[in-house]
């Protein structure tokens, strides 16, 4: 989808005003470029897809901060790169914590990672609360959340199931996650 710089500028202005079609247009226009950028960095389709979703989510949340003196694509790639770096740092920290030299191997073998009854109760309550929030979403958002996170379908499979273009599914899922987050925060 080729757009002139003027059309892109107009789409960004509309997105800054909260126009959902403008967000969808930007997602359609730049999804493959950001995804391929991350696929090259991560060499993992799932990570590339997750980082790309997070990139657009963060970009749409922070669209007001975009400075039009710069290229929109460069701004997206910078956000995407930072999310990837954060992911790598988090994984590295987890690996270091798991292999901490301060804890002898004998103690690590004794430590029980199984959840206690209290932990399980809290987990069950959190799941019940999450399901309650999901039920408050509009049916089409509930359905896409269910297909992606409970049935663990790929975007392509969801698009086929709903008979919609894959980019519509991506936008719908992005919007559903944002609305769900707002419900959880109590807005």
Write out pLDDT tens, residues 64-90.
Answer: 999 888 899 999 999 999 999 988 888
If 0-12 CB within 10 Å is exposed, 13-18 middle and 19+ buried, where does residue 123 land? Answer: exposed
Tell how far CA 115 is from the center of its chain. Answer: 27
Q: Are 134 and 140 in contact (CB under 8 A)?
A: no
Say which residues have a Cβ less than 8 Å from residue 33's Cβ, sequence separation at least 6: 73, 76
Taking the whole predicted model, whether its pTM rises above 0.85 is answered as no
**Residue range 13-26: mean pLDDT, rounded:** 89
Alpha carbons 15 and 171: distance in angstroms, whole number: 14
| pLDDT per residue as tens digits for the range 100-148 | 555 555 444 444 455 566 666 666 677 777 788 888 888 888 899 889 8
């Amino acid at each position: 989808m080729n757009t002139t710089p003027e059309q892109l500028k107009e789409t960004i202005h509309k997105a800054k005003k909260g126009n959902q079609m403008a967000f969808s247009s930007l997602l359609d226009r730049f999804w493959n470029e950001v995804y391929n950028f991350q696929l090259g960095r991560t060499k993992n389709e799932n990570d590339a897809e997750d980082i790309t979703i997070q990139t657009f989510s963060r970009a749409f949340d922070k669209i007001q901060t975009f400075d039009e003196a710069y290229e929109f694509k460069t701004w997206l790639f910078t956000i995407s790169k930072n999310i990837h770096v954060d992911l790598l740092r988090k994984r590295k920290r987890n690996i270091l914590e798991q292999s901490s030299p301060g804890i002898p191997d004998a103690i690590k073998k004794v430590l029980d990672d199984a959840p206690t009854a209290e932990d399980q109760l809290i987990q069950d309550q959190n799941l019940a609360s999450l399901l309650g929030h999901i039920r408050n979403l509009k049916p089409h958002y509930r359905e896409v959340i269910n297909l992606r996170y409970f049935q663990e379908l790929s975007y392509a499979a969801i698009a086929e199931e709903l008979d919609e273009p894959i980019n519509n599914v991506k936008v719908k899922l992005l919007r559903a996650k944002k609305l769900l987050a707002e419900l959880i925060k109590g807005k």
